[in-house]
Chains A and B, each alone.
Chain A
Amino acid sequence: MSYTIVAITACATGIAHTYMAAEAFEIAAEDNAFKIKVETQGSIGAENILTEDDILNADVVIIASDIDIDLTRFVGKKLYQTRPKMAIKDAMALVEIAIKEGVVYADEDSELSYISLGKTSENSFIKHIMSGISYMIPMVISAGLLLAIANIYAFQKDDLGHLVTWGFDKSDPIGNLMYHLFLVGKIGFTLMIPLFAGFVANSIASRPAIAPAMIGAYIANDPSFLGTDTGGGFLSAILVAFLVGYFVRYLKMLPWPKILKPLLPIMILPLLATLFITMVVFYLIGGPIASGMGALYEWLTWLTANYSSSTFIIGAIIGAMIGFDFGGPVNKTALIFGTAVFTDTVAKYGIEGANFVPATAAQAAISVAPLGIFLASILFKNKFTETEKVSANSAFGMGIVGVTEGAIPFAAANPIQMITASVIGSALAGGLVGIFNVKFYGGIGSPLGTFVGYIEQPIPFVTWLFCTLSGITVTALIIGFWRKPIVELNKLKTKQEISEESISIKKIKESP
């Protein structure tokens, strides 16, 4: 087998074993015709330092060290940790074990997702997504919770004393502060999309891909750039990140003239990739979003005109759309449509004849995904890692005040599972409020809305709670039964464990 391997050797003193291990690797490579590059971190400093490309091209990374080595360079790479002695003893045997037993390295933050998703080392799509999510989660949580707190203060009483008017009372110091907290949360939600895309692309093609992916994801989510009513949301960010990542990877493989090489990572690659992704977003993303939203809108209009009596169906469709992309274009189309239909019919027929169904369904569905994931993490404790539980708790904080974005990390990690669960649960909540003829005048789009807001419903307080909680429960159950229990197997073994169970003592290969 012609492996390509990179290794780091280091030992306590930094003189003897570091270099013996390096030599052992190199002798084994000569004898067995595989490629290896060994970085020695000894007392004369690091030598033969591994480059980004070395790491990118390696089948496995072997860390043969008695001391702590900074592993951040290797996030996302298959990695095997052991001690330098193992290399000295039998480097070839160590290489074979590393090929067989190496596990994808995740830094502590992203470890969550590796474990929960099983054999990720074989699934590079998930691996890249996970890398992005680990960077995005702190942003989602801090921005989301601030926004959620602020949102509680955003409901003002109307003339009738109902809590339906949304907006901040900026003349009041607290109201003004909350207004600014709300803005800060919004900024966080705006930034998390490029942040996520940047680090997904980083995982695919390392540093040169970060800038183009961040710019690309930002513009793909920016309505004013696209000339649309809404941005592409997190689904467009995934698309941008992969396009940029693989484009940069491809560029790296081109036979660039030697003189340009120093400029590649800092200038040429990011510049070309940014140009490329700008073209893609400008011509291929903005248009479809605009026309797609237009078509969806037309279809909804036609549907409500012809099937206005099928309130369950219409509510369910609006709910499904809300649950589909967590603040993305489909979600926004449903929200806009609901508001438009309501204002339109109020203007035509007065409040008595207004069509409440789409707007009410949208509000009933809005918290289903984040609260569903939270409920799932409570009901199926063994299927969530500790980090995921923290994320799920903050999703609760957001969901309970009607902020959907808390579900995004889960949706990005596992789009099919999360979107399926969310769409079904949201459709149910939307359909139920439709069939029960619930009228949402204003307030928080979550179970809490029945207290903070004004909702006309057959059984006061209860109908709304029943509808929303049904959706949430169904979503939670789908997620829960779909997920597999966490197996801690993939967790990186400690050096000690590995060295203890490691290579059986074999007679060292004598070199000629």
Chain B
Amino acid sequence: MKAVFKPEHILLDTESKTKLQAFAFIASHVKALGYVSDAKIYEAGLIDRENQSSTGFTGGIAIPHCKDAVALYAGLFVVRFSHPIEWETMDEQLVNTAVALSIPEDGDDSNIRLLTKLSRSMMRKPFRDALQKGDVNQVQDVIAIVIA
């Protein structure tokens, strides 16, 4: 069993300049953290979900995610991009932060439930601000409050 969020889930992506590069970055790191068993399949899942309907949100945030059997644990990952990425968002802004989710197909219900709570929190600006700009402690704090 892994926690939905840990400090090492905050990732800095200095390389990616496109959405596809970002997906590859996210997939390889989520795999490295042990939340998915296969980076390629997870990456394909993210792209597939994105193609159904953009996960671009607002204020420079996107929420790429997919539910797949290769996902071992429910997890939330904050990926900050050095290069703003073109992404179809609700306010036409470039994306500087991805809040990625790994969602097991039939994982522990309680952790999936935590993801739904965190999704709800995305509607609150202070929460979003912390994920986008906060230091490790601030991010941990806002998440701890939600999943407590």
| Contact present for A13 and B103 (CB under 8 Å) | yes
| Contact present for A16 and B63 (CB under 8 Å) | yes
Give the contacting residue for A510; candidates B101, B122, B125; CB below 8 A.
B125
Nearest CB in chain A to that of B120: its residue: A23
* In the complex, chain A residues whose CB is within 8 Å of the CB of B59: 508
Interface string of B54-76 (1 = CB under 8 A from A): 01011100010111000000000
| Contact present for B49 and A13 (CB under 8 Å) | yes
Check A43/B49 contact, CB under 8 A, given A15-B116, A16-B63, A20-B119: no
A19 to B63, CA, bound (A): 13
* In the complex, chain B residues whose CB is within 8 Å of the CB of A27: 123-124
Check A511/B123 contact, CB under 8 A, given A13-B67, A43-B67: yes
Judged by a CB distance under 8 angstroms, whether B90 is at the interface is yes
* In the complex, chain A residues whose CB is within 8 Å of the CB of B112: 15, 43-44
CB distance from B100 to the nearest CB of A (A): 10
| Contact present for B53 and A83 (CB under 8 Å) | yes
* In the complex, chain A residues whose CB is within 8 Å of the CB of B52: 12, 66
A40 to B119, CA, bound (A): 12
A27 to B124, CA, bound (A): 9
Judged by a CB distance under 8 angstroms, whether A507 is at the interface is yes
Judged by a CB distance under 8 angstroms, whether B141 is at the interface is no
Give the contacting residue for A85; candidates B90, B113, B125; CB below 8 A.
B90
A22 to B121, CA, bound (A): 11
Judged by a CB distance under 8 angstroms, whether B109 is at the interface is yes
Check A19/B90 contact, CB under 8 A, given A14-B67, A66-B53, A508-B58: no
* In the complex, chain B residues whose CB is within 8 Å of the CB of A19: 116-117, 119-120
| Contact present for A44 and B116 (CB under 8 Å) | yes
A507 to B117, CA, bound (A): 24
CB distance from B95 to the nearest CB of A (A): 15
Interface string of B93-129 (1 = CB under 8 A from A): 0000000010100000100110111011111110000
* In the complex, chain A residues whose CB is within 8 Å of the CB of B63: 16, 20
CB distance from A495 to the nearest CB of B (A): 12
Give the contacting residue for B55; candidates A16, A24, A83, A511; CB below 8 A.
A16
CB distance from A224 to the nearest CB of B (A): 58
Judged by a CB distance under 8 angstroms, whether A259 is at the interface is no
Judged by a CB distance under 8 angstroms, whether A42 is at the interface is yes
* In the complex, chain A residues whose CB is within 8 Å of the CB of B65: 13, 15-16
* In the complex, chain B residues whose CB is within 8 Å of the CB of A83: 53
Check A23/B123 contact, CB under 8 A, given A66-B53, A508-B58: yes
| Contact present for B53 and A85 (CB under 8 Å) | yes
Check A508/B116 contact, CB under 8 A, given A16-B55, A16-B65, A83-B53: no
Judged by a CB distance under 8 angstroms, whether A89 is at the interface is yes
Judged by a CB distance under 8 angstroms, whether B15 is at the interface is no
Judged by a CB distance under 8 angstroms, whether A505 is at the interface is yes
B-facing residues in A82-107 (Cβ within 8 Å): 83, 85, 88-89
A269 to B108, CA, bound (A): 42
| Contact present for A12 and B58 (CB under 8 Å) | no
A43 to B67, CA, bound (A): 10
Judged by a CB distance under 8 angstroms, whether B91 is at the interface is yes
A339 to B56, CA, bound (A): 78
| Contact present for B91 and A44 (CB under 8 Å) | no
| Contact present for A20 and B53 (CB under 8 Å) | no
| Contact present for A24 and B58 (CB under 8 Å) | no
| Contact present for A12 and B53 (CB under 8 Å) | yes
Judged by a CB distance under 8 angstroms, whether A377 is at the interface is no
CB distance from B85 to the nearest CB of A (A): 18
Judged by a CB distance under 8 angstroms, whether A18 is at the interface is yes
* In the complex, chain B residues whose CB is within 8 Å of the CB of A40: 116
* In the complex, chain B residues whose CB is within 8 Å of the CB of A511: 123-125
| Contact present for A16 and B113 (CB under 8 Å) | no
A133 to B114, CA, bound (A): 47
Listed residue (A18, A19, A44) with the most chain B CB atoms within 10 angstroms of its CB: A19
| Contact present for A22 and B120 (CB under 8 Å) | yes
Judged by a CB distance under 8 angstroms, whether B92 is at the interface is yes
| Contact present for A44 and B90 (CB under 8 Å) | no
A-facing residues in B1-30 (Cβ within 8 Å): none
| Contact present for B109 and A44 (CB under 8 Å) | yes
A44 to B117, CA, bound (A): 12
A140 to B81, CA, bound (A): 66
Other CB < 8 Å A-B pairs besides A89-B90, A510-B125, 7 of them? A19-B117, A20-B123, A27-B123, A27-B124, A44-B112, A44-B113, A83-B53
| CB-defined A-B contacts under 8 Å, sample of 15 | A15-B65, A15-B115, A17-B119, A20-B63, A20-B119, A20-B123, A22-B120, A23-B119, A23-B124, A27-B123, A44-B109, A88-B123, A505-B91, A508-B90, A511-B124
Q: Which 8 pairs show the lowest CB-CB distances between chains A and B? A: A23-B120, A19-B119, A23-B123, A19-B116, A16-B119, A19-B120, A89-B90, A508-B58
